Structure formats: structure tokens, C-alpha cells
Chains A and B, each alone.
Chain A
Amino acid sequence: MTTPLLELRGIRAGYGTIDVLHGVDLVLEAGQVYALLGPNGAGKTTTLAVCTGQILPSAGQLLLNGREVNGTTSDALARAGLCLVPEGRGVFPNLTVTENLRMSTYAGMEFATVQERAFGQFPQLAARRKQLAGTLSGGEQQMLSMSRALAANPALLLLDELSMGLAPLIVEQLYERVAELARDGVSILIVEQFAQAILRVSTTASIMLRGRIVRTGPPAEIAEELAAAYLGASTHSLPA
């Protein structure tokens, strides 16, 4: 059995005095597309914030390749290859597409390489290279956000609510790209509230409720149990 690429063991974390995660256990193997599903307020985004070092856990372990990395800074993790595409399109709205891409050269990558990768992945961005990012459509902003993360050549990509506010067709296209990335060997952890598109490309899925992962299994099984979980079934009634 190989060492998981990313592992959370009994993670407790929150904001100030309020705990949001109450002992999260998660294992992401290399090459997996892991879908973390749950209703609003379940703690999905907080889980990603812990994974990327933005929030320090009050208890538990964050492991990368079997090594505990609690307390490591976000930029160090990003340089190592753990990249986050944040919720709500993490672009600089008052900068152009090209300038946004230039921002991702922080890891020491050549700007030409960044552009080549970004426009190779999302050709429609090339036509809008001089346009302000804030004036792009929602889908294009999301593509720009993703391309910035991909420019850093991530080994582990974390996607937060990729589909938020986007038309189903655009969501479908973005998840096609996610599936291609996974085939190229990038391990992916996706957090989503709406599961339709994500479960078709994922290899493992979990349901998160009230700061705990209550069920993990194959996407097909999780899809069947999702409605019950979202509609307020007791966490104890779901099989472990």
C-alpha cells in the first residue's frame, strides 16, 4: 500500500473560538480525484484552508506523503506543488488576463511558460489576454483562476466550488479539464455543494456534515445517499 499524497487525521479547526471541523479524517492517494461534498456550512472550505496552511488546526495531523506538515506556511506548500483554486474565482479583477498570469510566476517559473500552459489549457483566454479579468464571464474567470494554479505545475490541486454561479455547460467543460488533469497524473481534491458534474469525474467521494466526514465511498454509492444527507438525515443513520 502506497503512502497517501494527502492525509488528514482527526483534524479540528475553526475561526477564533468557534470550532468548525470536529475531527476530520481524509485520505487522498496519488492520482485520485476526491470529491468532498456537503451542504453549505459543513466545513468543506475550512478543510481546504487547513490543507493549504491558511488555518492552523487546533488538533490533529496534516500529512503530505506521510510527513506531518502542521504549521507550514501556505506559500511553502504552494511552492512544493499544493495549489488551491479558491471559491469565488480567485482573480485580480482590476488586472488584465496577462497580468493575472504574471502573478503566478512567484514560484520562479518563466512567464512565457506560464502563458503557454495557460493558453494551451484554455485557448479562449488567449483571445482575451488584454482584457481586465473583472470583465470576463464567470466561466472565463474560473478558467483564468485554474490556469494560474496549473501554471505552477501542481502535484496536488485543490478546487473549491468550481461550479459556483456558472452555467451547467461551462461546469461540464471545466470538469472535462479536471478529468484530463487527473489523467495527466495530478491528484485532485474537489469541494462542491452540487454533486452532479463532479461525481462523474471523481474516483472517491465523501459526504461532510457539520464538520465531520460521515461517509466515504465510490461516487455511485455516495450519489445515492447524498439526497438523504442533504435533507437532514442523522449522521448516525448513514453507514460508516
Chain B
Amino acid sequence: MASDLSTPPTLSPRLQQFQAEVDQLKVTGGRANPERAGRILGAILMAVGLILGIYAYFGLSHPTTNPLQQGDATVVGLLGVGFTVVGTGLFVVFSLTRYFRYWLVRLIYEQRDQTDRLRGSA
């Protein structure tokens, strides 16, 4: 069954139509694992919050007896705690989402596999 397919045909009307339709496609630029960005943001917030807390105590509050500066340090420290709490929440939520996505994919795969085996044995 020899075939002479080595020479590409000229741009057919169908290909021109295909080009036009591709140009009109709505492209979202989607990526797999959309949770990744959330997990990274959560981890960064956790780290930033921790650093702010330590800095507020050792860098701002501890070296001074000025109550005004210590008040500022308290605000910065609370901000750090807030960042850490929010960051931890984001990290946990997106990690769980990722895990459950994987679990669901695995479940679907196993169900399909089981169906194929049943069909094969019938």
C-alpha cells in the first residue's frame, strides 16, 4: 500500500476555514494545577508573617522602652500573626484541593479500569 503523501497539498478552502476558526477561538491560557499559585501565595504569607512577628519583637519592641514605639511593634506583630493565619489557611485549602483532585482522578481511572475488565471478561 504505497502512498504518495510526501508533498503537502496547497492551502485548501477547509484549511483556510480552519485557520479562521482557530483565530476566533477563545483562549484562556489555562494551566494544569491551578492550586499551585494559591499554595505558593499561602507559603509566602506564612513566611512573611513569621518574619514580621520576630522583627516586631526583637527589632522594634525589645530594644526600646518607648511605649509609642512598642505600640507600633504590637501593630506590626499582629499584622504578622494575621498574615501567618491567612497564609496557613490558603496553604491548607489549596493543598487539600490538590489532593482531592488527584483522589478523584484516581477513582475515575479505577472505575474505568474495572468497567473495561468486566467488559473484557463478558
Measuring CB to CB, which residues of chain A are less than 8 angstroms from any residue of chain B? 2, 5, 13-17, 29-33, 55-59, 64-65, 67-72, 76-77, 79-81, 88, 153, 155-156, 172, 175-176, 179, 182-183, 185-186, 200-203
Contact = CB atoms under 8 A, between A and B. Distances in A.
Contacts, number: 110
B27 A70 contact: yes
Nearest to A182: B5
A31 B9 contact: yes
A156 to B, nearest CB: 7
B5 A203 contact: yes
B102 A17 contact: yes
Nearest to A76: B25
A32 to B, nearest CB: 7
A32 B8 contact: yes
B8 A31 contact: yes
Interface of B: 1-3, 5-9, 11-12, 14-15, 17-19, 21-23, 25-33, 98, 101-103, 105-106, 109, 116
**Interface SS majority for chain B:** loop
A200 B32 contact: no
Contact of A155 (B17, B23, B102): B17
Contacts of B11: 30
B2 A15 contact: no
B30 A70 contact: yes
Contacts of A57: 31-32
A48 to B, nearest CB: 16
B101 A64 contact: no
B17 A185 contact: no
Contacts of B8: 2, 29-32
A155 B18 contact: yes
Contacts of B19: 65
Contact of B9 (A59, A77, A175, A185): A185
B22 to A, nearest CB: 5
Contacts of A13: 32
A56 B32 contact: yes
B18 A16 contact: no
Contact of A153 (B9, B14, B31): B14
Contacts of B31: 56-59, 70-71
B26 A76 contact: yes
